[in-house]
Structure 1
Amino acid sequence: MNKRIVAGIEVEASTGNVFADLGLPDAEKLQIKSGLTVEIAKAIRERGLTQAEAAQRMGLTQPKVSSLLRGEFSNFSERKLMDCLNRLGYDIEIRVRKTPEPVGHLVLTHA
């Protein structure tokens, strides 16, 4: 990472994945789940849904929606989060492409 001094304080540029910056295992997976969770929260807000209404549409309980909206996504699989977005009216496209690197990466992009 790139370190520099700003106003007398050493700062380090992010890799773009806060989970990797913190040294957490499965950082790419956590970033994907976090991004999906943000999209779910935006969809609920844009549609003006209550937590109960969102829960019904996503096939969850209201307490699970509440947890999800507080950023507690560790108990959800990526597939379940994608299913929630589908049920909220979102299409999800998965694109696979070859990379020049020895190991590929998971990336969430927004349209």
Structure 2
Amino acid sequence: MTDSQRFNSVWDALGDTPEQTENLKLRAELMTQIREYVESLNVTQKEAATRLGLTQPRLNDLLRGRLDRFSLDMLVNVLARAGKHVNVTVVDDVA
């Protein structure tokens, strides 16, 4: 039996490196914004996908939170198609 590892957050557990952890957090936040936008449209997934320049299966992957299938660039582009602007704020680590 091995000792359990403890993590500060689920992102720390998922990421192999601090860089990967930050990337996962950012992609998850952008995906959440896209999901909220799609839900606000009150249209079918197919219609929402068309508006966002995606296929319906690709949008479904996004709505299901499949982080590994989307880059930051792709998510920023989808948000731009939704008429959204992504603002980046860089802060020092609090440790």
Q: TM-score, normalised by structure 2?
A: 0.75
Task: For 1:86 and 1:76, locate their aligned partners in 2 and report how far apart those are by CA, in whole Å.
Answer: 15
Task: For 1:39 and 1:87, locate their aligned partners in 2 and report how far apart those are by CA, in whole Å.
Answer: 13
How far residue 94 of structure 1 moved from its aligned partner, in angstroms, is: 2.6
Task: For 2:87 and 2:11, locate their aligned partners in 1 and report how far apart those are by CA, in whole Å.
Answer: 24
- When the two structures are aligned, how many residues end up with a matched partner? 85
User: Which residue is equivalent to 1:24?
Assistant: 15
Could you tell me which runs of 5 or more consecutive residues in structure 2 were left unpaired when the two chains were aligned: 1-5
Task: Verify: 1:61 aligned to 2:27, yes or no.
Answer: no
Letter in 2 for 1:56: T
45-54 or 35-44, which deviates more? 45-54
Q: Per the alignment, do residues 36 and 23 of structure 1 end up closer, same or farther by CA in structure 2, a change over 3 Å counting?
A: closer
Task: Verify: 1:39 aligned to 2:30, yes or no.
Answer: no
How far residue 62 of structure 1 moved from its aligned partner, in angstroms, is: 0.4
- Is the radius of gyration larger for structure 1 or structure 2? 1
Indicate the structure with greater helix content.
Answer: 2
Could you tell me which runs of 5 or more consecutive residues in structure 1 were left unpaired when the two chains were aligned: 1-11, 102-111
Indicate the structure with greater strand content.
Answer: 1
Q: Per the alignment, do residues 23 and 88 of structure 1 end up closer, same or farther by CA in structure 2, a change over 3 Å counting?
A: closer
Describe the superposition over 1:76-105 as per-residue Cα deviations: whole angstroms up to 9, x where unpaired: 1101101111111211123457x4x6xxxx
